[in-house]
């Protein structure tokens, strides 16, 4: 697979995202990254709802995150998401949360596995979904 284009998803930091000091609480970065991955898939024509109707889903299998600098209340940020690896039953995403100056505040590598929702067992990503995802990479 050639170098992937980044998918950019805007995030605004709200009061509910922050701790008493006005800094984003650490677990909320995971929510930002999750939303951006969902929107990347949606933008590629992959509906999470349609997957569920087919008894399929994506679950996080592995996550590595590096908190570099805290985001603060009212910050306007971008989550940059790239698919770094597309395998038979998994997708690896590289994600950066950046501010308007392009400074990386947080980065993560997230590997998701495709599963049958009812059995929670791994399964191959359907070819039509792989081709939709690959066309945007």
> pLDDT at position 134, please?
78
What is the Cα–Cα distance from 54 to 43, expressed in whole angstroms?
19
Cβ–Cβ under 8 Å, residues 93 and 35: no
Cβ–Cβ under 8 Å, residues 114 and 123: yes
Q: Which residue has the higher pLDDT, 12 or 48?
A: 12
- Provide the token pair at 36: 């951006």
Express each pLDDT in 50-79 by its tens digit: 999 999 999 999 999 999 999 999 999 999
Mean pLDDT value of segment 79-86:
96
What is the Cα–Cα distance from 113 to 125, expressed in whole angstroms?
9
DSSP, res 80: E
Active-site amino acid positions: 19
Question: For tokens 């070819």, what's the residue?
Answer: 127
């Amino acid at each position: 697979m050639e170098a992937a284009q980044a998918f950019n998803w805007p995030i605004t930091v709200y009061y509910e995202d922050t701790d008493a000091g006005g800094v984003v609480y650490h677990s909320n970065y995971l929510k930002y990254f999750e939303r951006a991955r969902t929107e990347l898939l949606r933008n590629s024509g992959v509906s999470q709802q349609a997957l569920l109707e087919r008894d399929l889903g994506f679950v996080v299998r592995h996550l590595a995150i590096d908190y570099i600098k805290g985001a603060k209340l009212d910050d306007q940020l971008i989550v940059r998401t790239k698919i770094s690896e597309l395998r038979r039953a998994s997708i690896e995403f590289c994600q950066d949360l950046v501010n308007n100056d392009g400074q990386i505040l947080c980065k993560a590598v997230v590997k998701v596995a495709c599963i049958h929702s009812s059995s929670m067992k791994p399964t191959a990503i359907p070819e039509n979904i792989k081709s939709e995802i690959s066309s945007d990479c």
